Amino acid sequence: MASDPLLTELGDYHVAALTLARKARVAAGDPARSASAWSAARRAYELHIEPGLRDLEQLLLPALMQRGCTEVVARALADHRDLRDAATTDSDPSGSLLDLADALIAHVQASRDLLDIAERRLRPEDLANIAHTYHRDPHP
C-alpha cells in the first residue's frame, strides 16, 4: 500500500467502494429490494466512486504515462471502463448488484497496485505537481 500522503488521499474513495460492494452483495440476495438497492448503488457510485476515477485519470495516469508506464495506464483505463460498465448496466438488478460488487473489489485491488507503482515510478516533483493541482481544484 502506498505510503505517500497524496497517493493515500487519492485512494481514500476505496473505503466507499468496499462499503458499496458489501451493501450491493447483501442487497442482491433480497429480490424484493434489489431494484431500489440498484438505484441507490448507482447514486452512491456517481457520488463517491466516479470522482475518484476521474482524479486518477486526470492527475495520476498522465504523470505515469510521462514516465513510460504505458501498460500500467492501459490496465488502469481498462479497469475503469469495466467498473463504469458495471455501474451503468440496465440488466437484472440482482445480477447487476453482484457484478458491481465484483467490479468494485477488483478495482480497489488494481488501484492499490497502481498507487504502489506510482510511488515507485514517479519523482517527488511529479507528486508535488499532482498535489498542487489536486489541492487547488475542488473535489466533491
**Range 113-137 average pLDDT:** 93
Mean pLDDT of 24-48: 94
**pLDDT tens string 86-111:** 999 988 899 999 999 999 999 999 99
Using CA atoms, how far residue 115 sits from 19, 40, 60, 93, in Å, is 20, 28, 9, 32
Helix (H, G, I), strand (E, B) or coil at 96: helix
- Quickly list H helices, 29-92: 34-44, 50-55, 61-66, 70-88
The mean pLDDT value of the chain amounts to: 93
CB 67 within 8 A of CB 12: no
Nearest to 85 by CA among 74, 95, 100: 100
pLDDT value at residue 4: 87
Share of the chain above pLDDT 70, in %: 96
Supply the pLDDT for residue 25. 95
